[in-house]
Each structure stands twice: as structure tokens, then as C-alpha cells.
Amino acid sequence: MASHRRPKQPSRTRVTVLTATAAAAVALTAQTAQADPKPSKSEVKAKVDKLYEEAEHATEQYNGAKEKQDKLDDQIDALQDKVARGQEELNTLRDSLGSVASAQYRSGGIDPSVQLFLSGDPDTYLEKASALDQLGAKQTEAIQEIQAKQRTLAQQRQEAQGKLKDLAETREELGAKKKEVQSKLAAAQKLLNTLTAAERAALAADESRANRASARADLGNAVPASQRAAAAFSAAQSKIGSPYVYGASGPSSFDCSGLTSWAYAQAGVSIPRTSQAQASAGTRISSQSQLQQGDLVFFYGDLHHVGFYAGNGQVLHAPKPGASVRYESINNMPYMFGVRV
């Protein structure tokens, strides 16, 4: 017979425990919300500046990979031209060898002793024999030249294959660094989007003030390090107000090393594209007191930022996104050393 017992009701004690647990969960959630407040404008700016710094580091690596790619492209083109010319020369040598072999066949198709026996003019025979010997020497020489050309072509083809492999790896690295830069910039923009319109306007106003202050920078009685340093610094000065753009090297926008390499190019001096490579482009200067106008100055432990020393404790550089080429205090960043090109 089926049982018709009534369902057991939860005890008063159990209800009390469940209610207390739910209340604790609500309280914990509230505490968590209170412990993670919306970051302030200054906190957001600090995080954004850090992301920009990381993006600049990745950009210098991107610039290095791009420079390597361009060099490899040129080297591969030159090697492929050499291979094409070498193949044409090899074909010409083979045709020449074929002509020598045909002449040798026509002159030496009969045994020399029989030729001498049949010859009515021994002097004519000896002349022909001498010509035959010369043809044989030419044939040997041609074969040796062909073999040497084949070895050279094989080496050049192998070198070209190696360069093509390097190029493929460099292009892969280039793509990865580009994605890293874009990721850092996107994260920075996401942070900026958490600010109110008024807070974003305040940050923009700060940058505008910094740009205006640059126009009033006091460079003191700075003396250029050299004539070429003076020319490079003057070229960089002509770009004050140009926007910072990652990977740009002029003439209308720049990143940090793009500005310095472009400016020195205007002075007729070729220096490497990246800040790390530019650090070895001249004589190192450790003390700030020894810096002269036009010297390159490097910042951060990994040397991912570079600018020009302008004089009186000021640097001229392309700072970061949202900023333009301008003067700033050398103490705004961790100074490492200078380089006189």
C-alpha cells in the first residue's frame, strides 16, 4: 500500500542558517564592489603611460625587424641577379664547349698514325695536329671553367635559399610585433574609455599645455657638438608640432627613433633605425654635464626611447601617442647615457 506521508518541512534552524549564508554572500559581494572602485583619472593616466611605454618598446623591435626585412629584400634581389647572370655565363660556356667538341671531332676523327700515313703533306698534317692539341687544351680549360661556375652558382643558390628562410622568419616576427603594439594601444584606449568625457578633456588639455610650454623652452647658450649635429638638430626643430605615430620615420609624423634617424639623414649622416642600434652609433657620454646640443640621449634600461639633447637640461623628442614633437625636461624619463655621432 502506497505511503501518503507529508513532505518534511525544513526546520527553523536550517532556515536560519540558509538566510545567514545568503546575507553573508550579499555582504561579501558588496565588500568586493567597495574594494574595487573605479580608478581615478591619475591612476588611469599612469596605466596608460605604462602601456604606451611597453608599446614603444615593441615598436622599436618592430622597427628592427622591418629594417632587417628591407636589407634581406635587397640582398635577395642582388643574389638572384647574380644567379641569373651566372646561369647565362654558364650557358655561354657550354655552347662554347660544344663548338670546341665539334671542331675536335672534325679534326681528330681518324687515328693520328693513319692520318700521317694518308697525308701527302707531312707539314700540313703537323699543323693540323698542333691545332688539335690547342682544341683539346681549350676543351679542358672550358670544362674547368664550367665546373667552377657550377660550384659558384650552387653556393649562390644556397645562400639565396638561406636569405629567403631568414626573410620568412623576419616577416613572421614583424607580424607578431605589430600585433603586440596594436594590443597595447587597444588596452590603453580601453582604459581611456573608462574615463568621463570631462576627464578625457582634462588629459587632452594637459597635453596641449605641454605642447605650448615646449614653444617657450629655454635652451640657454647651447653649443652644438659638431656641424653635422647642428644640422640634424635644426632638422628636428623644423618638425616641432608633428604628431607621434608608431613606426613612422617622417616626414610628417615620427616615433622616437624615426625622428632622430630622419634628422641625421637630412644632415647627410646615416644612422641605424632603432634606438637600441643608435646607441652604438657614436661616442658614449655618461655624464649629463658633458652633453652638447645634437647629441643623442637614451632613456630606460632597455634603451627603447631616444631623443636629441637640446641644451639647458632639455631634450627634443617624439614622446608618445597623443603628443607631438616637442621639448621636455631630461628628468622626465630615466636617463641612461648620451651618444655623440
**pLDDT tens by residue, 4-24:** 455 555 554 444 444 444 444
- The pLDDT, as a whole number, for residue 21 is 46
User: 158 versus 26: which is more confidently predicted?
Assistant: 158
284 falls within a domain? yes
Mean pLDDT of the chain: 80
- Nearest CA to 316 out of 211, 225, 207 is that of 211
In terms of C-beta density within 10 A (0-12 exposed, 13-18 middle, 19 or more buried), how is residue 198 classed? exposed
Which helix (DSSP H) or strand (DSSP E) does residue 214 occupy?
helix 197-215
Statement to judge: residues 153 and 240 lie in one domain: no
Statement to judge: residues 99 and 151 lie in one domain: yes
Query: pTM value?
Result: 0.63
Average pLDDT over residues 208-227: 87
Single out the residue in 192, 208, 242 at which a domain terminates.
192
- The pLDDT, as a whole number, for residue 91 is 82
173 falls within a domain? yes
Catalytic residue among 4, 57, 256, 304: 256
Q: Which residue reads 662554347 in cell numbers?
A: 96
Following CA atoms 197, 203, 209, 211 in sequence, which dihedral angle do they give, to the nearest 10 degrees? Answer: -110
Catalytic residue among 4, 57, 304, 317: 317
Q: Is the per-residue pLDDT at 35 higher than 70?
A: no
Best mean pLDDT range from 23-32, 158-167, 221-230: 221-230
| Catalytic annotation present for 317 | yes
In terms of residue numbers, what domain contains 49?
41-192
204 falls within a domain? no
Statement to judge: residues 130 and 229 lie in one domain: no
| Distance from C-alpha of 261 to C-alpha of 3, rounded to nearest angstrom | 93
Statement to judge: residues 186 and 59 lie in one domain: yes
